[in-house]
Amino acid sequence: MNESNEKAAMPRHIAIIMDGNGRWAEKSGKIRVKGHEAGAQTVDRIVSLCAEIGVEVLTLYAFSSENWQRPALEVAALMRLLRHYLKRETKRLIEQGIRLHAIGRLDRLEPKVRKELEEACQKTAAGKKMTLNLAISYGGRDEICDAVQTLCRKVQSGELECDAIDDELLTAHLDTATLPDPDIMIRTGGEYRISNFLLWQLAYTELYFSDTLWPDFAKAELMQIIDNFQRRERRFGRVLN
């Protein structure tokens, strides 16, 4: 809460880089996949919490375009975890009014994974409380390239004037076109990088880097980050009176 009597605004959109699963597992002598499994449980808790406290959009970086280069066994385990999540959680997402949305190059997913993801998105489409936006096979540079290609095709076909391309139009051609920009971006796991996450959308986002490994990330820390966000002055490049 801020110092005035006004109720501070809840961030509309929180985006999270869920880093540190591998190190969490290795610390206790387990294989990396165990860390991802524990990370999936943190996903359950943080999704429910964000919906409860009135966040409109939660974007989770579940699998980056670069993650395809990890050992095949780890990639398979991450895909299995995603499928388990969809199977286990779709009913609960519907009950909680959470709409599932996915961004990224979904055409790279195995057809059965893609189908299950699309089905879960359809089944939860009426959810009004929160959008859970999963970034899967996602890279910010890929997303911008895809948008630029679409715009170029429109220019080539005569549907669009080159000079009409501006911030708003490019934004409207991104995977996140229907979503507001993130207010807060959190990266757990102690690294200070953006790692190709929402490169365009993070332009004026407040950034938080936490040393906590994702499986250990819990309610108290998220609430602390939100409290800190509510005390920050966001100027969006302007001077405030």
Closest approach, Cβ 42 to ligand FPP, in A, equals: 7
CA-CA-CA-CA dihedral for 222, 227, 228, 230, to nearest 10: 130
Q: Residue 109 or 151: which CB sits closer to ligand FPP?
A: 109
Q: Interaction with ligand FPP in 21-50: which residues (CB under 6 A)?
A: 21-23, 36, 39-40, 43
Catalytic pick from 67, 142, 146, 216?
Answer: 67
Helix runs in 14-135, H state only: 21-27, 32-53, 72-95, 111-123
Indicate whether 189 belongs to the interface with ligand FPP (CB under 6 A). Answer: yes
Cα separation, 176 vs 51, in Å, equals: 19
- Shortest reach from residue 206's CB to ligand FPP, in Å: 22
* 116 is an interface residue for ligand FPP by CB under 6 A: no
- DSSP letters along 141-205, please? HHHHHHHHHHHHHHHHTTSS-GGG--HHHHHHTSTTTTSPPPSEEEE-SS----TTSSTTTTTTP
- By CB under 6 A, residue 182 contacts ligand FPP: no
φ, ψ for residue 208, nearest 5 deg: -130, 130
Q: Which of 33, 51, 58, 62 binds ligand FPP (CB under 6 A)?
A: 62
Active site residues: 19, 67
Chain contacts with ligand FPP (rule: CB under 6 A): 18-23, 36, 39-40, 43, 60, 62, 67, 78, 81-82, 85, 134, 189, 214
